[in-house]
Amino acid sequence: MASQSSAKYYKNLKEMSPIRAIAETLMNSHSIRKIDIREAYEMAKNQAGVTVTDLPMCQEFVKLHNLPADAKVLTDCHGTIIGRTAKARRFYHRLNPSQKNKLEGDFREAAWQMQKYPLIKAEAVLGMDKDLMIKATFVTTESDVANVFNWLLNFTPYEQQKAEYEASPELPIQDIILVAFNEWTCDDPFYNNVGAPQLALVDEKHNVIVNMGMRYFGERKKGTLTLAWTSGIRIGMAACHGGIKEIDFSTCKDADYHKLGKRSIAFYGLSGTGKSSHTNNHDNAGTLPEGFSKVVLHDDAFQIDLENKLCRAWEPTLFDKTDSRPIDHPDWKYALATMNHAVMEFDGKRLPVGLDLRNSNGRALLDRGLLGNYVNRCAFPKALVWLMKDSVLPPVIKLGNKHLAVAMGASLMTQRNRAENVTEEELGKLVFEPFANPFRVYELYKDVEAFLKVVENGADVYCFNSRGYWKESDDELEAIPLVTSLTLQTAVLTDKLEWEDWDMLPGAMIPTKESIDKVMPGYYDKYQPKARGNMDKYLATLKDRFHQRRDYLGNSDLAERPELLDAIVSTLHLDV
């Protein structure tokens, strides 16, 4: 089977962390009751805060898991907190010995408190491909059963994949343990406190995540997924918080495209940069050639297997914001569960309303069928795209230097905007999230090393600007419509573009006038870097942005790898 139990993984049991030992003890209590997805559904219907709506659950999923034929979507509504709480995170291995000792004691106390409540546990398999599977166990109280149900929907109930899991190759990775306790009480300023204490304890080396005083499902999902990504890194893969799709050109009506074969393209970007729009768009706004075939691996999470040169999916579902989905939106036929939605009566039916009426960040678990044809593994990426809201970058640049390519991903950024209550000085500061992955719990240099290997194995790397390109100032921009970016994506995939050096950034290239104007007439003159208005201010802003990138990376843990740091940072110098 894939991952290993503690008894098998630890040849010397003294190597196990106290955090895992506490979680193991709780998980193996004689009083804990194991439940499956069907029992979790029936129990969740009676949980406080849960509403049984009249929206039918996606029928394919109902049949797959043998749920009641008339199963309905459940809406689980919370109180003050309706999103993830970064301030609650405590990373066990980054603490000093005194702090570790404190956390161990507080976790022991919490585990003791938990056993005053009826306890349940459930088992799931993370990983949709037979060669990358990890077993996970979720331990919690009965009062948290809606999250157990959603967790089993988000991953795969163990019983559903037991045979495939047990036949899969063994990995040098521990099973994952997730412990949650909503009723936790602890009056201690060491922990984040919003009406009650909160703790998201991460022990990534021993595959344990602990949520104390936290109801939000996203903490369970992303916590579990974080350990899966980290496990992949530990066995030499690249962890990807992004979307990836594979286009097959061999089925195109025009035989000239057949030579392209199958090509995968991956997108990495923060919220609002267009990651899902690029991954999920049916035909790139009509620009893909007639007769192409497309499959999607996932729009949020996957792993790149560098040894076997392919990509693998972790989850069978999507966890999407629903602020732009009215009640008649076609996506609702793929609904499995909703969180923090207003519920209203329409023609005698109780329905969740996905317009963020009750609160922001309303979410739904949706079946992956929403993406159209999907697969559990796809080809090694032909292209990686960093999606950035950086007004000093042209709509597309190709990064021909491998160290520059990875440097731009490692310093992937966004900007604050005037809707936020910040000073002009703060507006000018960039916000960095390397490789668009806020769930990285290991050293940045490990991601840098992994993505260098991805590039060395043949992936081309691009930056797409999804904000708008400097016209006269950082506020007065030349628009870059989504259709323009989608057209550029198709041009990249079909080798329609030729490239010339962008002389302001050595190692970067922009499309040649002759090639890009065949695809989009007038593009070259409209987005020519040398044609920016207020050029002195543009160049000063460009220099400042890249100076911030260098500073950010220079102050990161890349300093532990000085040669790697120098190779990366040296490429971020402009020639202006």
Q: How far is CA 134 from CA 4, 62, 123, 170, 172, in A?
A: 8, 24, 11, 9, 10
CB-CB neighbours of 388 under 10 Å: 26
Identity at 324, one-letter amino acid code: S
Measure the CA–CA gap between 360 and 378, rounded to whole angstroms: 34
- Taking the C-alpha atoms of residue 27 and residue 135, their distance in angstroms, rounded to an integer, is 14
DSSP E strand boundaries for 301-395: 302-305, 310-313, 317-321, 335-339, 342-346, 349-353, 363-367, 377-379, 381-388
Which of 324, 341, 262, 257 has its CA nearest to residue 297?
262
Q: Which domains does the chain have, with CATH numbers?
A: 6-44+85-236 (3.40.449.10), 242-299+380-572 (3.90.228.20)
* Beta-strand relationship, 381-388 and 262-269: parallel
- Of the candidates 364, 403, 4, the one whose C-alpha atom is nearest the C-alpha of residue 153 is 364
CA atoms of 442 and 229, how far apart (whole Å): 10
Rounded mean pLDDT of the chain? Answer: 96
How many alpha carbons lie under 13 Å from residue 104 in its C-beta half-sphere? Answer: 14
Question: What tens digit of pLDDT does each residue of 108-124 get?
Answer: 999 999 999 999 999 99
Encoded amino acid at 168, one letter: S
CA distance 324 to 322: 5
C-alpha span between 394 and 528 (Å, rounded): 8
Which residues, 6+ apart, have CB-to-CB distance to 514 below 8 Å? 498
pLDDT digit string (tens) for the chain, length 576 residues = 699 999 999 999 999 999 999 999 999 999 999 999 999 999 999 999 999 999 999 999 999 999 999 999 999 999 999 999 999 999 999 999 999 999 999 999 999 999 999 999 999 999 999 999 999 999 999 999 999 999 999 999 999 999 999 999 999 999 999 999 999 989 899 999 988 899 999 999 999 999 999 999 999 999 999 999 999 999 999 999 999 999 999 999 999 999 999 999 999 998 888 999 999 999 999 999 999 999 999 999 999 999 999 999 999 999 999 999 999 999 999 999 999 999 999 999 999 999 999 999 999 999 999 999 999 999 999 999 999 999 999 999 999 999 999 999 999 998 765 444 556 676 678 889 999 999 999 999 999 999 999 999 999 999 999 999 999 999 999 999 999 999 999 999 999 999 999 999 999 999 999 999 999 999 999 999 999 999 999 999 999 999 999 999 999 999 999 999 999 999 999 999
3-state secondary structure at position 39? helix
pLDDT the model gives residue 416: 62
Write down the H helix ranges in 378-500: 402-410, 424-427, 444-456, 482-493
Q: Are strands 197-203 and 192-193 parallel, antiparallel or unpaired?
A: antiparallel
Sheet order of strands, 243-248 included: 293-298, 243-248, 262-269, 381-388, 460-465, 396-399, 508-511, 499-501
Q: Which of 140, 121, 319 is nearest to 212 (CA)?
A: 140
**Exposed / middle / buried, residue 18 (Cβ in 10 Å: 0-12, 13-18, 19+):** middle
Q: What is the spatial distance between Cα 493 and Cα 462, in angstroms, rounded to a whole number? A: 12
Q: Is the pTM of this model over 0.85?
A: yes
Nearest to 322 by CA among 155, 486, 82: 82
